[in-house]
């Protein structure tokens, strides 16, 4: 095939649908999911020469350098089909029901409680894991924490959203507040083992802003040259984290930092994750490798059980994808997107059957929370929990783009459970403070 068709088509489709959602001012998990997928598709298409470089060939898996155009076209055609089915069912549900638009006329919440709670949880986890390993470490892995890694998820969720509610949300969106918050997130992300944590922080921070102020207002503020200087420390931090994860040695020389930055960004910005999806799809559809026959999606019922309660719990299904990549299993997980998980489980028919269910599920869960919040037309401490749950769902965009529906649902349920706990603590604290004030007032009278 001399000229690709489906690859530019899926990129064009993703771009147009993103622009449409911004224009319609509809904040959906589809918006954030498609931004991530667009980066993956473009990164893969424009990085063939990069993956053929000798240093990269020596340090990366061989399948990254053997992606042919027919393989790419096959995978992207199925990705396009799956996204179109999801969008169609989502749109039909919106037409039959109501578009998922949040309408909050007033915000009466201004508190730093959620931010400091998330920071406290993160600090406690770092101390706990360092105690387990006998030395200070940022390398938090689920198997190390025996199921307590669920707290990591809620901490990384509460920190960015908590920064939003430090400010008076009844006023217009402030550039100074946003810059200050992004700098704080940049500093806190240095305490994370993940290279992409700063990106996840930024987007999780933007989600409540886009819900409260609208997508158009939020992004019109961000597309400003005044934010450009923030990119320098972001790239520098990614480069340092890449060095730490590879050999635990930090070299501040320019060449080393540059190579580390390129290596750290390659999995996402240069299409590494998308290439795993392409190769896996080709293995199942073209070479007729056996599918997982539902094992990938059925793990939803086992991932929710902490390993501390089930010591022999099966490893996550994404680790088995290495079989489709002709690699020996070494405990490595390979990321596939939402559509890739369907193909991995049931082949092409998995896309046809599961994709419309996903579209309805996306609309239903967002519609439920938005209708409940819109009924009050004001965001208060009483209905803050619904808002937290809605943000928790939207913040699972990355899990969907790099892990599928199962990881997104597990992360969402985890965030919902601990959000309820933290929200209850805050409600009890405010009630106790109000109650003491009322007693003091009575004594004074």
What is the per-residue pLDDT across 28-41, written as a single tens digit (0 to 9) for each? Answer: 999 999 999 998 99
Residue 392 is predicted with a pLDDT of 92
CA pseudo-torsion sign 391, 392, 397, 398? positive
Quick check: helix, strand or coil at residue 258? helix
Cβ(275)–Cβ(50) below 8 Å: no
Residue 93 is predicted with a pLDDT of 93
CA distances from 134 to 96, 128, 130, 139 (A): 58, 10, 6, 13
Residue 352 is predicted with a pLDDT of 94
Buried b (16+ CB within 10 A) or exposed e, 222-246: eeeeeeeeeeeeeeebbbbbbbbbe
- H-helix or E-strand spanning residue 6: helix 6-24
Strands (E), 53-161: 106-107
Cβ(171)–Cβ(219) below 8 Å: no
Residue 114 is predicted with a pLDDT of 92
How far from the centroid of its chain's Cα atoms is residue 82's Cα?
20
Residue 137 is predicted with a pLDDT of 60
Residue 157 is predicted with a pLDDT of 87
Residue 186 is predicted with a pLDDT of 82
What would the two tokens of residue 427 be?
């409600």
Number of Cβ within a 10 Å radius of residue 51:
20
**What residues of the chain score a pLDDT lower than 70?**
1-2, 52-61, 105-106, 132-150, 193-195, 225, 228, 230-270, 308, 327-333, 435-445
Residue 278 is predicted with a pLDDT of 92
What would the two tokens of residue 303 be?
């991932």
- H-helix or E-strand spanning residue 106: strand 106-107
Residue 385 is predicted with a pLDDT of 92
What would the two tokens of residue 245 be?
């994860």
CA 272 – CA 195 distance, rounded (Å) = 15
Residue 348 is predicted with a pLDDT of 93
- H-helix or E-strand spanning residue 337: none
């Amino acid at each position: 095939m001399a000229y690709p068709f489906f690859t530019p088509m899926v990129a064009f489709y993703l771009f147009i649908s993103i622009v449409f959602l911004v224009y319609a001012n509809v904040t959906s998990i589809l918006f954030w999911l498609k931004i991530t997928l667009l980066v993956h598709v473009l990164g893969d298409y424009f990085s063939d020469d990069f993956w053929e470089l000798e240093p990269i060939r020596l340090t990366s898996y061989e399948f990254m350098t053997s992606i042919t155009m027919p393989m790419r076209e096959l995978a992207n055609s199925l990705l396009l089909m799956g996204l179109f089915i999801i969008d169609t069912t989502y749109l039909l549900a919106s037409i039959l029901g109501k578009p998922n638009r949040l309408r909050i006329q007033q915000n009466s919440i201004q508190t730093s409680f959620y931010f400091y709670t998330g920071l406290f949880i993160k600090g406690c986890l770092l101390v706990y894991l360092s105690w387990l390993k006998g030395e200070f470490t940022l390398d938090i892995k689920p198997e190390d924490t025996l199921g307590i890694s669920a707290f990591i998820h809620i901490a990384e969720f509460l920190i960015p959203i908590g920064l939003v509610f430090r400010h008076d949300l009844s006023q217009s969106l402030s550039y100074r507040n946003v810059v200050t918050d992004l700098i704080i997130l940049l500093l806190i992300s240095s305490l994370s083992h993940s290279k992409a944590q700063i990106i996840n922080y930024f987007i999780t921070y933007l989600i409540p802003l886009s819900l409260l102020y609208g997508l158009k207002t939020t992004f019109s503020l961000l597309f400003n040259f005044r934010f450009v200087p923030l990119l320098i420390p972001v790239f520098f931090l990614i480069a340092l984290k890449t060095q730490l994860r590879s050999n635990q040695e930090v070299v501040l020389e320019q060449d080393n930092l540059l190579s580390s930055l390129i290596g750290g960004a390659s999995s996402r910005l240069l299409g590494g994750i998308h290439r795993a999806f392409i190769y896996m799809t080709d293995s199942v559809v073209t070479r007729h490798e056996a599918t997982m026959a539902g094992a990938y999606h059925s793990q939803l019922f086992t991932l929710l059980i902490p390993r501390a309660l089930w010591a022999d719990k099966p490893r996550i299904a994404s680790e088995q994808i290495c079989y489709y990549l002709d690699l020996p299993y070494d405990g490595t997980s390979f990321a596939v997107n939402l559509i890739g998980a369907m193909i991995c489980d049931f082949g092409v028919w998995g896309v046809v059957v599961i994709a419309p269910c996903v579209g309805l599920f996306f609309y239903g869960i967002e519609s439920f929370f938005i209708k409940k919040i819109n009924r009050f037309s004001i965001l208060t401490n009483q209905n803050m929990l619904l808002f937290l749950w809605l943000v928790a769902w939207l913040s699972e965009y990355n899990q969907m783009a790099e892990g599928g529906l199962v990881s997104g649902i597990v992360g969402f349920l985890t965030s919902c459970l601990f959000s309820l706990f933290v929200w209850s603590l805050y409600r009890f604290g405010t009630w106790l403070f109000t109650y003491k004030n009322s007693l003091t007032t009575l004594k004074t009278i």
